[in-house]
Amino acid sequence: MTIVADRIEINPKVMLGKPVIRGTRITVELVLRKLGEGASEADLLDAYPHLTAADIRAAMKYAADVIAHEELITAGSE
């Protein structure tokens, strides 16, 4: 198990190793997808009682950090 941040963990035995909110099976992907679909923080907190506002912020920060360290490799131009 890897603790990526205070609230995010990666464990190959939980949700196939996807990043999750620590101590839950709620994936970072799910949180971001719901927010992208227009769910509010209140909607998420209501739908997932184990989730906190700090968890939602941690999921967004984790995603931003992953994207910030992403490398783009392109094949040769045609």
Determine the pLDDT at residue 77. Answer: 63
Domain residue limits, the chain:
2-68
Which token pair is 71? 């490398």
Determine the pLDDT at residue 31. Answer: 98
Residues in the chain: 78
Of 14, 4, 18, 17, which Cα lies nearest the Cα of 65?
4
Determine the pLDDT at residue 29. Answer: 98
Class of domain 2-68: mainly alpha
- Say if CB 54 and CB 22 are below 8 A apart: no
| No. of helices (H) and no. of strands (E), the chain | 3, 3
Mean pLDDT by 10 residues, the chain (78 residues): 82 96 96 98 97 96 90 76
Determine the pLDDT at residue 28. Answer: 97
Which token pair is 23? 């101590």
